[in-house]
Amino acid sequence: MPQVNLKLSSHDQQVLESIFNPLELSSIHPSVSVPCESELADVEPDTEAVRSSRELELQGVLLTEKGSLDEALTQFQLALNQAQRASVLNNRAQTLRLAKRDGEALDDLNKALEIASDEQTRTKCHAHCQRGVLYRKLDNLDAARSDFEAAAQLGSKFAREQLVEINPYAALCNQMLRQAFDQLQ
């Protein structure tokens, strides 16, 4: 079969790029700047209470990684007693999810997103991802989509992948277009 050489406008090329690479949010709107997740950070006040809370939170994370979930939850509570921080709530939610206490995890994620400031983009991104996963598990795809969209705008590649996964029309359209273009080549 002869190769077809198509002359596409810049806009048409961008549309095709967005279809074939749906994880690139800025392919149709190049002016939209999506940060890289590794660049996200949390800016918090540097007080003794926050420093103490961070240390206790880190201990909770390490205990979670070791599988000591009850001890980890105790550390997270101690961290929250020092300072009500969105990051602690987000990390405690992860431990609660591992302990199969999804309702409590959802409560922590809601509170984390409520108290997170605009300068806490890392925690907001992770909390939206976690809550999206929980909503997806609960078959609430509209809420999951909303959280994944928020996390994707903050820079989460995982959230962008989830958006593609939960959009069956986009997946079907991508498959059909790939087949059509394969036949042209």
pLDDT value, residue 30 = 41
If pLDDT is split at 50, 70 and 90, which confidence band does 78 have? very high
Q: Is 40-184 assigned to CATH 1.25.40.10?
A: yes
| Mean pLDDT (whole number) for 49-65 | 96
pLDDT value, residue 35 = 58
pLDDT value, residue 185 = 72
CB of 80 within 8 A of CB of 89?
yes
pLDDT value, residue 90 = 97
Q: Is the dihedral of CA 76, 48, 86, 62 positive or negative?
A: negative
If pLDDT is split at 50, 70 and 90, which confidence band does 4 have? very low
Going from N- to C-terminal start, the domains of the chain cover 40-184
> Under 8 Å CB-to-CB from 109, ≥6 apart: which residues?
89, 90, 93, 127, 130, 131, 134
